[in-house]
Amino acid sequence: MSADVMEYFRKLPEEGADGVDGRRVTIAEIAAEAGVSVPTVSRVLNGRTDVAAGTRERVENLLSAHGYVRRASRQRPGGAALIDLVFNDIDSPWAVELLRGVEESTHAAGVGMVVSAVHKRPASTRQWLQNLRARTSDGVIFVLAGPGPASTELQRLGVPVVIVDPAGNASADTPTIGATNYAGGRNATEHLIKLGHRRIGLIAGPRDLLCSRARLDGYRAALDEAGIGDELIVQGDFTHKSGFAGLGRLLDEPGRPTAVFAASDTMALGAYEAARQRGLRIPDDLSIVGFDDLPESRWASPPLTTVRQPLVEMGALAARTLLRLARGESIDVPRVELVTELVVRDSTAPPR
Amino acid sequence: MSADVMEYFRKLPEEGADGVDGRRVTIAEIAAEAGVSVPTVSRVLNGRTDVAAGTRERVENLLSAHGYVRRASRQRPGGAALIDLVFNDIDSPWAVELLRGVEESTHAAGVGMVVSAVHKRPASTRQWLQNLRARTSDGVIFVLAGPGPASTELQRLGVPVVIVDPAGNASADTPTIGATNYAGGRNATEHLIKLGHRRIGLIAGPRDLLCSRARLDGYRAALDEAGIGDELIVQGDFTHKSGFAGLGRLLDEPGRPTAVFAASDTMALGAYEAARQRGLRIPDDLSIVGFDDLPESRWASPPLTTVRQPLVEMGALAARTLLRLARGESIDVPRVELVTELVVRDSTAPPR
């Protein structure tokens, strides 16, 4: 890859947000003018190398004509760099672990980390985007969701994006950082099978998240491999409350499970409380495995067996990837899954 | 208060960091030149109203002569505002609650929140300060500690500071936001006394934090009022581990307590695990009260009785206070303690 291929483009915020013809030029218009698809323009903007040289040149010329400028020519007074970390909500211990990881990487690089929560509200996203436009940003990390309605504007501004643990709606040219959710779900279930359990429940995560689906498929694969036909699945939404209710439903069914895999630690702790209220001791009467390895899982009574998701490392890698893109460097692997690991503590034991 | 009294001063970052004579001018030098104390210069810089008019004028003239400029004349390209939120470590659920509160206020005001962790390391603080100087900041919220070595530089730059839950080393002219730790400690202990407990242990927080001392004094006051002479105090450091070890030490003493007040939820959860390992049931064999009301306390098995510290509100108020200072407005009350509240859940019961 040559150096110029690795460069990408960015509109100078100081020059205002409009094209040279005085109105906003969208990526779609540039795509139409160049006779290519919108994703192709995105790939050029994001410094991706999988665009034919002739196409790239045509798109670059149009971008330039419409007021986009080469990344290298961008200068901010003071010269300091800021990146944005955008959550839907900063309400879970899960969010903090990622935040710590991003902060470690950005702090080490002398870059400020602006943290925002948009609460899935378009008005809130617009407010954030307005603030970003005014102060500028060298890149954005979205957690659990893609840029959504902000996508076009960020592309137009030439602000690179990285997504952590995508919900499944990321556009194909956006780098993503995730964890091996499928392998993790499989390991959790295999651990219970090895202990001798045959009736194993699953409290699943939200259906619309890819990570939930992967954990569920991992659970199914482990059961299938062990020749266990009975799936015992209840739907949860990653909240404590849904873990509490989920275990209740599993225990109310005939042929109740002797072990449960909760697809998040928070749901596992909800299941703890449901077990306690029914007088079931963990792990004597019921084994429980979680997913995440939040600090709370170590502090639970008993300490929770869980699948460690390397959240701090995921945040740190997302930040390093973003800073590379912000420097106009290419990235080798646009989609990365960091390895999960089963951490055996005191909440699992052989069935009685 | 007239409008000019409410203004305060700030060095234009764009003009470089030195005084007009080409070297750094410290607050101490300006104080010496004006024949006033350093805190008086600080008060003028911070827009405080408790400085005599003649003194104020003398100090303002000197600040101006040494290159400090009026807040109102400051302009940043793009015009957007950023504030900084500085933790020692972002490793506790406690930190997140504050962060959420600050984010809610800044987001609503269209202001970006830059989050940093300095890990009590001077090199890390210097790195952060260097980043801040380059990008500028409209104000800084420090959590649990004062600005420390950054204090002089922030004053020189005219960047206002607010401290949340001070460790006791805040300078007298810095606004602080805390909670009623003394009343909270007292309420927690009184709750146990009302249930009939007479042997009540305390797992105390770090000695060097004012909030720990206030909670301990509240515990003592409640015992004293009830005519209970026996204090059962072990030292903790707000970690889960120290709560675990602390309850162990309390239970190993002769005349073991029937109830324990842990000065943080995290230590209370450590005590939960120590109780579980000794076969003690909560609340049947031992009552436990925490302090903070972190989300984890609701999720604990059994849900934890605790003293609610309004962390989100504290963060939000700190941000609103800082934004007022950043706009050059005065604040009415430089030190605020928000009210704590006892939340009774399932971890406390009468002694057997």
Q: Say whether A114 and B269 touch across the interface (CB within 8 A).
A: no
Contact at 8 Å (CB) between A313 and A339?
no
Q: Say whether A273 and B135 touch across the interface (CB within 8 A).
A: no
Return the residue in A86, A99, A103, A115 with the most chain B beta carbons within 10 A, the one to mutate for interface testing: A115
**CATH fourth-level superfamily of A181-310:** Response regulator (3.40.50.2300)
Q: What is the mean pLDDT of residues A36-52?
A: 73
CA angle at B207 for the pair B204 and B209, rounded to the nearest 5°: 100
Task: Please report, rounded to a whole number, the percentage of residues in chain A having pLDDT higher than 90.
Answer: 56
For chain A, the domains span: 3-72, 81-179+312-336, 181-310
B292: which chain A residues are within 8 Å (Cβ-Cβ)? none
How far is residue A223 from each of residues A10, A213, A248, A251, B337, measured CA to CA in Å? 50, 15, 22, 19, 55
pLDDT at residue A134, rounded to an integer? 82
Return the residue in B90, B118, B135 with the most chain A beta carbons within 10 A, the one to mutate for interface testing: B135
Q: Check the CA dihedral B78-B79-B81-B82 and report its sign.
A: positive
Comparing CA positions, the residue from A139, A144, A151 lying closest to residue A114 is: A139
Q: ipTM of the assembly?
A: 0.73
Q: Say whether B266 and A107 touch across the interface (CB within 8 A).
A: no
pLDDT at A21 over 70: no
Q: Given B103, B124, B272, which is nearest A301 (Cβ)?
A: B272
Number of H helices, E strands in chain B: 13, 14
pLDDT at residue B68, rounded to an integer? 61
A300: which chain B residues are within 8 Å (Cβ-Cβ)? 273, 301
DSSP state of A328: T
pLDDT at residue A41, rounded to an integer? 78
Cis peptide, bond prior to residue A13, ω within 30 of zero: no
Do the domains spanning B3-72 and B181-310 agree at the CATH topology level?
A: no
SS3 content of chain A, % helix, strand, coil (to 5): 45, 15, 40
Q: Say whether B266 and A299 touch across the interface (CB within 8 A).
A: yes
Q: Say whether B115 and A131 touch across the interface (CB within 8 A).
A: no
Return the residue in A102, A136, A301 with the most chain B beta carbons within 10 A, the one to mutate for interface testing: A301
Q: Say whether A117 and B100 touch across the interface (CB within 8 A).
A: yes
Structure tokens at B80: 């957007």
Q: Say whether B116 and A111 touch across the interface (CB within 8 A).
A: no
A16: which chain B residues are within 8 Å (Cβ-Cβ)? none
**CATH fourth-level superfamily of B79-178+312-337:** Response regulator (3.40.50.2300)
The span from the CA of A311 to the CA of A101, in Å, is 7
- Mean pLDDT, chain A, as a whole number? 84
Shortest distance between the Cα of B322 and any Cα of chain A, in A, equals 17
A114: which chain B residues are within 8 Å (Cβ-Cβ)? 82, 112-115
Q: Say whether A96 and B100 touch across the interface (CB within 8 A).
A: no
Q: Say whether A80 and B131 touch across the interface (CB within 8 A).
A: yes
| Phi/psi at B221 (5° precision) | -65, -40
Return the residue in B89, B114, B297 with the most chain A beta carbons within 10 A, the one to mutate for interface testing: B114
Q: Which residues of B154-172 are buried (b: 16+ CB within 10 A; e: fewer)?
A: bbbbbbbbbbbbbbeebee
- The residue among A7 and B207 whose pLDDT is bigger is B207
| Residue of chain A nearest B114, judged by CA positions | A114
pLDDT at residue A295, rounded to an integer? 85
pLDDT digits (tens, 9 = 90+) for A167-183: 655 666 789 998 999 99
A134: which chain B residues are within 8 Å (Cβ-Cβ)? 78-80
The span from the CA of A218 to the CA of A263, in Å, is 11
Q: Given A80, A90, A273, which is nearest B96 (Cβ)?
A: A90
Number of H helices, E strands in chain A: 13, 14
| Residue of chain A nearest B298, judged by CA positions | A240
Q: Given B95, B135, B269, which is nearest A112 (Cβ)?
A: B135
pLDDT digits (tens, 9 = 90+) for A70-88: 443 233 443 348 999 999 9
Shortest distance between the Cα of A273 and any Cα of chain B, in A, equals 5
Question: With a cut of 50, which residues of chain B have pLDDT below it?
Answer: 1-24, 69-80
pLDDT at residue B172, rounded to an integer? 67
pLDDT digits (tens, 9 = 90+) for A287-317: 999 999 998 899 899 999 999 999 999 999 9
The span from the CA of B119 to the CA of B295, in Å, is 24
pLDDT at residue B35, rounded to an integer? 86
Query: Which residues fall within 8 angstroms of residue B192, CB to CB, at 6 or more apart?
Result: B200, B259, B261, B287, B289, B348
- The residue among B336 and A1 whose pLDDT is bigger is B336
Look up tokens 């957690």; give the residue.
A143
pLDDT digits (tens, 9 = 90+) for A179-227: 999 999 999 999 999 999 999 999 999 998 889 999 999 999 999 999 9
Q: Say whether A269 and B132 touch across the interface (CB within 8 A).
A: no
B132: which chain A residues are within 8 Å (Cβ-Cβ)? 112
The span from the CA of B180 to the CA of B211, in Å, is 9
pLDDT at residue A25, rounded to an integer? 64
- The residue among A3 and A349 whose pLDDT is bigger is A349
Count Cβ–Cβ pairs < 8 Å, chain A vs chain B. 146
Q: Say whether A127 and B135 touch across the interface (CB within 8 A).
A: no
- Fold topology of A81-179+312-336: Rossmann fold (3.40.50)
pLDDT at residue B262, rounded to an integer? 98
DSSP structure string for A67-87? T-EEGGG---TT---EEEEEE
pLDDT at residue A173, rounded to an integer? 75
A113: which chain B residues are within 8 Å (Cβ-Cβ)? 114-116
Q: Say whether B114 and A117 touch across the interface (CB within 8 A).
A: no
pLDDT digits (tens, 9 = 90+) for B213-251: 999 999 999 999 999 999 999 999 999 999 999 999 999
Q: Say whether A301 and B269 touch across the interface (CB within 8 A).
A: yes
Comparing CA positions, the residue from B246, B82, B100 lying closest to residue A132 is: B82
Domain spanning B3-72, CATH architecture: Orthogonal Bundle (1.10)
| Phi/psi at B324 (5° precision) | -65, -45
Rounded to a whole number of angstroms, the distance between the first and last alpha carbons of chain B is 61
Comparing CA positions, the residue from B114, B105, B108 lying closest to residue B85 is: B114
Q: Check the CA dihedral B201-B206-B207-B212 and report its sign.
A: negative
pLDDT at residue B32, rounded to an integer? 84
Look up tokens 């890149």; give the residue.
A139
Comparing CA positions, the residue from B202, B118, B209 lying closest to residue B170 is: B209
Shortest distance between the Cα of A40 and any Cα of chain B, in A, equals 31
